[in-house]
Every structure is written in structure tokens, then in C-alpha cells.
A and B are shown apart, each in its own frame.
Chain A
Amino acid sequence: MVGPNIAFWIIALVMAYAGVRLVTTRNVVHAALYLMIVLAGTAAIFLLLGAEFLGWTQVLVYIGAIVVLFLFGVMLTRATYGESKGLDNDQRVLAATVAVIVFLVFAGAMWKAFGASTEIVLEKSTTVSELGRDLMTNWVLPFEAVSLVLLASLIGAITLARRDDPEHVRDRGVER
């Protein structure tokens, strides 16, 4: 299969470029857009590997929700048009070290799993029903834990953003 390999390299190069631009651009919204490209590339690689549901989940959750959340955050705080100052800091050496270590760990894991093979060998794509059956039988506990994680994150979000003004008190049925 040559096609998927070519597609992989194109996606990988686009992702690498967008990743570099993501950290070098001076504009917050542009950075969010480059992040969106990187995430879309990840989704494309999932699709390429036959993980259809996972790929589109990536689009729905990360591109459709998380980056929108980032953009809302940018609209909320005072990000100016054009270049923003103060987006840079002195941690470059540390960041580079961490990046190299993470790269080595991932590369090692992949080498251990696949060796020198560069072929994508797939018979069929994973269907949603297979995924669902697996989720409901083998992974029930993590699945239920997810709902608790979501609940906790929601409570956290509400606690952070809640206003305790008189209107609220009234909303809870207590007279001012």
C-alpha cells in the first residue's frame, strides 16, 4: 500500500510545520489556528490507520470544542490584534530538553512495537460497534470513571466562573 504511506508523510510534514509555527508565532489566535491544524493532522492519521470513530472524535472534541474554548478565552482576555508581547520566555533550553526526551520515549515505544517496518498493514477499519462492545465489556470501569472526571471538571469550571451576586441568591429561591 503506497497511497497511505504517501498520505502519512504529507500529513506528518504539515503537522511538523504547523507545530513549529504554533510555538514561534507571535499572535495568539494564529497559534490557536496552528494548533487546530496539528490536531486535524492527528485526526487524519487516526483515519489513515482505520480508526474512523477515534479520528472524528478527535475532530469533534479537540477542534470542535477545545480550540473553540481557547478562542473564547482569547476573546475574553485582552489579546490584541497583530503581535502580542510577552509570549516568549527564557525557558528555551529546558523546553528543548523536555521535547527531546518526549521524542525519545515515543520513538523508543514505536520502535519496540513495530521495529523497522514502515508499511501500514491493515485489513479493515475498526467499526463503531466493535468499539462500543469493547467499551461496554472490557472497559466498563474506566468508562464510568470518565463520567466522574467530567462531573469533577464541570464542578471546577462552575466554581471558577460562578458569580455570587444577589441575583444568584434570588435564583436559588432565597429572598434578598
Chain B
Amino acid sequence: MPIDAYYRSYLQVAAVGLLGLGLFGAMIGLAKVLQPRRLSDLKSSIYECGVEPLGDEWSQSQVRYYVFALLFVVFDVEAIFVFPWAVIMGTLSWAALVEMVIFILILAVALLYAVRKGVLRWI
């Protein structure tokens, strides 16, 4: 893509971003104008089904979420490597297909390993 058209396409995206920011500002601004102002301690406390909040405001999440995030990083990188190949796949030789099949199969082995080790099992 010529560099001028390239920059222009992002300027158009930026224009939509500005519209979105404008909407955000307008909504907050309008609400600030229209709002009643009656703050109280009870109102600005956090919601716990109507009763007064108990204990700490922190809740520890479990390690399995972290494992899934780690798995996500690995497979996200894989997917991104596949995209440039996918675009030109039809014009490439068999060698390129074999290269990609090896790449994907190695990561399929990784997925299989994760399944066998039971990390994909929730509970």
C-alpha cells in the first residue's frame, strides 16, 4: 500500500476513535449535569447483595486462570505466525505447506500434552 493511502486509512480510524471519545465525554458530561447529588456513606460502599460488606475487599483468584492465560499466550503467538502464511498459502510450493504443517503439529502436540496432563480440566 502506498504510504499516503496507508497513513490516511489510519487517520480515518482515528476519526472514529475521536467520535467515540466525544460520545464518552458527552455522556459523562450530560449525566453530570442531570444528576442529583445526594451522596451518603452507605451509597458509596460496595454492593454485597444488600447486606453490609464483610471482610476484605480482595478476593484471590485461582491458579488455573493463570495457566489458561499462559496457554493463551502460547497459542496466540502460534495463530499470529499462521496468518502471514495463510495470506499467500495458495501461491506457495508444497515445501511451505510442509513447513507450516510441522509448525502446527508441534503445537498440536503441545495442546495434546496439556490435555493429557489434565490442565485443561476445570474443577
- Co-complex (A, B): yes
A-side interface residues toward B, CB under 8 Å? 3-4, 47, 50, 52-53, 57, 60-61, 64-66, 68-69, 72-73, 75-76, 78, 80-81, 122-125, 127-129, 131-133, 135-137, 140, 143-144, 146-148, 150-151, 153-155, 157-158, 161-162, 167-168, 171-172
Q: Which of chain A's residues have a CB closer than 8 A to the CB of B66? A: 69, 72-73, 76, 161
Contact B3–A50 (Cβ < 8 Å): yes
How many angstroms between the C-alpha atoms of A30 and B83 in the bound complex? Answer: 33
Q: Which of chain B's residues have a CB closer than 8 A to the CB of A161? A: 63-64, 66-67, 70, 119
How many angstroms between the C-alpha atoms of A157 and B85 in the bound complex? Answer: 27
* Minimum Cβ distance to chain B for residue A3 (Å): 7
Contact B78–A147 (Cβ < 8 Å): yes
- Of B6, B87, B100, B103, which one neighbours A52 at CB under 8 angstroms? B6
Contact A122–B3 (Cβ < 8 Å): yes
Q: Contacts A61-B77, A135-B84, A144-B102 known; A155 to B110 CB distance under 8 Å?
A: yes
How many angstroms between the C-alpha atoms of A59 and B8 in the bound complex? Answer: 20
Q: Which of chain B's residues have a CB closer than 8 A to the CB of A78? A: 58, 60
Contact A124–B6 (Cβ < 8 Å): yes
Q: Which of chain B's residues have a CB closer than 8 A to the CB of A52? A: 6
Q: Contacts A132-B84, A143-B81, A158-B119 known; A151 to B106 CB distance under 8 Å?
A: yes
Interface residues of B in 95-123 (CB under 8 A from A): 96, 99-100, 102-103, 106-107, 109-110, 113-114, 116-119, 121, 123
How many angstroms between the C-alpha atoms of A66 and B67 in the bound complex? Answer: 13
Contact A61–B107 (Cβ < 8 Å): no
Could you tell me how many residues of chain B have their Cβ less than 8 Å away from some Cβ of chain A? 51
Interface membership of B92, Cβ < 8 A: yes
How many angstroms between the C-alpha atoms of A52 and B87 in the bound complex? Answer: 15
Contact A131–B71 (Cβ < 8 Å): no
Q: Which of chain A's residues have a CB closer than 8 A to the CB of B92? A: 133, 136
SS class, residues of chain A in contact with chain B: helix
Contact A144–B103 (Cβ < 8 Å): yes
Interface membership of B1, Cβ < 8 A: yes
Q: Contacts A65-B76, A143-B103, A161-B63 known; A124 to B70 CB distance under 8 Å?
A: no
* Minimum Cβ distance to chain A for residue B8 (Å): 11
Q: Which of chain B's residues have a CB closer than 8 A to the CB of A76? A: 60-63, 65-66
Q: Which residue of A lies closest to B59 (CB)?
A: A75
Interface membership of B41, Cβ < 8 A: no
* Minimum Cβ distance to chain B for residue A147 (Å): 4
* Minimum Cβ distance to chain A for residue B81 (Å): 7
Q: Which residue of A lies closest to B76 (CB)?
A: A65
Q: Contacts A76-B63, A154-B113, A158-B114 known; A136 to B88 CB distance under 8 Å?
A: yes
